[in-house]
Amino acid sequence: MLGVGLMFVTLGSSAHAVTTNLFSTQFEASESYSSSLDLAGQQGWAKEGSGGNGVVVSGLQGQSAYIGFAPPNLVDDSLVLWRPINVNPVVAGFPLVKFSVLLNIIDSSNGRYDIFRWSVYNQQLNRLFSIDFDNDYLDVSYRLDGTNSTFFTNIPITNNSNYLMQVTMNFAANRWSATLNNVLIATNQPMTTVNASLTLADIDAVWLVNQVGFTNTQGQVNYTNAPGNNYLLFDNYQITAESIVIPPTQVRFLGRTTEGWGLLRVTGAEGGRWAVEGTTNFVNWTALKTNQISGGSFDFVDTTSSGLARRYYRARYVP
């Protein structure tokens, strides 16, 4: 006869989430930001490429940063601005990273329109994913790493309007979600599709310059920069990181089959991933099943328990 004991174990659990501020700024003069200088070079901000960037006095909420407006050098088709963060969220114990920024796209007056992007990079300088704001089509889209595919949303954008973008990244689970004014941009998307390192180097503001094609005397089509004088205003830039609170979960023994197999049910918060493990001596634990709770629970049949005099079970949270 199979004797069954049930244990609920959450390794590394925490009763309350702990939040740390990785970086935040409102680009104010009180933070030593000057409107007479480029943003790149101030308070640790760096750039790649050329073109307009800086701080305006009368922005979205006091002083605000901007990217765009002044054309780049002819050899540059983009400008990237970033403030280094350089953290391994999982190793640091804060795998849930949240990014928020207030933004506004000021329209062009020269009939040319560009794309403004937010990109997340890891410490190996691999782009993990991007969210694009197209000032030509006035829509929002996103791209994952390892692909050139663009995933279009149904979210329209309006020039000269303020938007709050919020991005949640779970570095332990390789998943991210984002909203714009609480409207869903994407949910439960992979941060990497190519097994890139899940670390955080920086979250970048990017200006992708419009280009036009022309045919040369040899019949070849070449492209040249044709930037708009549009620009992206952004403010209240904040990156925080949190520990993950493990939701309450219960393991229940439902009985045995005629073969002597144990029937188990794991109940808990929707979407939580739990690994069921078994032991006969509380020293050596065997991994039996990892599954995601859907509809409040998942069931498991332990087909390895037949013939055992006794087995104990536990459920372990899997980020």
Q: Which amino acid is at 171?
A: F
Highest mean pLDDT pick, 26-40, 210-224, 233-247, 248-262: 26-40
The closest of 148, 116, 144 to 128, measured between CA atoms, is: 144
Residues 142 and 254 occupy one common structural domain = no
pLDDT of residue 182: 96
Q: Given the structure tokens 């310059």, which residue do they identify?
A: 209
**Percent of the chain residues topping a pLDDT of 70:** 92
Residues 311 and 170 occupy one common structural domain = no
Residues 23 and 98 occupy one common structural domain = yes
pLDDT of residue 87: 97
Write out the residue range of the structural domain in which residue 138 sits.
19-242
**CATH number for position 213:** 2.60.120.200
**CATH number for position 269:** 2.20.130
pLDDT of residue 256: 83
Contact 157, 138 (CB under 8 A): yes
Q: How many residues would you count in the chain?
A: 319
**Percent of the chain residues topping a pLDDT of 90:** 64
| Residue 34: pLDDT over 70 | yes
Banded model confidence at residue 165, pLDDT cuts 50, 70, 90: very high
Q: Which amino acid is at 98?
A: K
Residues 135 and 164 occupy one common structural domain = yes
pLDDT of residue 258: 85
The closest of 275, 291, 303 to 8, measured between CA atoms, is: 275
| Residue 5: pLDDT over 90 | no
Highest mean pLDDT pick, 66-75, 255-264, 286-295: 66-75
pLDDT of residue 64: 98
Please tell me the total count of domains within the chain: 2
Higher model confidence: residue 14 or residue 31?
A: 31
Q: Given the structure tokens 């979407």, which residue do they identify?
A: 271
pLDDT of residue 215: 67
Residues 58 and 101 occupy one common structural domain = yes
Residues 223 and 275 occupy one common structural domain = no
At 146, phi and psi to the nearest 5? 75, 10
Higher model confidence: residue 244 or residue 206?
A: 206
How far apart CA 291 and CA 30 sit, in angstroms, is 50
Q: Given the structure tokens 């709050």, which residue do they identify?
A: 164
Residues 75 and 170 occupy one common structural domain = yes
Higher model confidence: residue 262 or residue 5?
A: 262
The closest of 57, 116, 113, 46 to 81, measured between CA atoms, is: 46
pTM of the full structure: 0.77
Residues 198 and 69 occupy one common structural domain = yes
Last residue within a domain, chosen from 191, 207, 242: 242
List pLDDT tens digits, range 55-102. Answer: 999 999 999 999 999 999 988 999 999 999 999 999 999 999 999 999
| Residue 7: pLDDT over 50 | no
Contact 315, 9 (CB under 8 A): yes
| DSSP line for 245-303 | PPPPEEEEEEEE-TT--EEEEEEESTT-EEEEEEESSSSS-EEEEEEE-BTTEEEEEET
Residues 158 and 225 occupy one common structural domain = yes
Higher model confidence: residue 185 or residue 318?
A: 185
List pLDDT tens digits, range 112-133. Answer: 999 999 999 999 999 999 999 9
pLDDT of residue 70: 97
Comparing 64-78, 205-219, 238-252, the range with the smallest average pLDDT is 205-219
What's the mean per-residue pLDDT of the chain? Answer: 90
Residues 8 and 73 occupy one common structural domain = no
Last residue within a domain, chosen from 198, 224, 242: 242
Residues 9 and 128 occupy one common structural domain = no
| Residue 317: pLDDT over 90 | no
Last residue within a domain, chosen from 209, 242, 275: 242
Residues 130 and 278 occupy one common structural domain = no
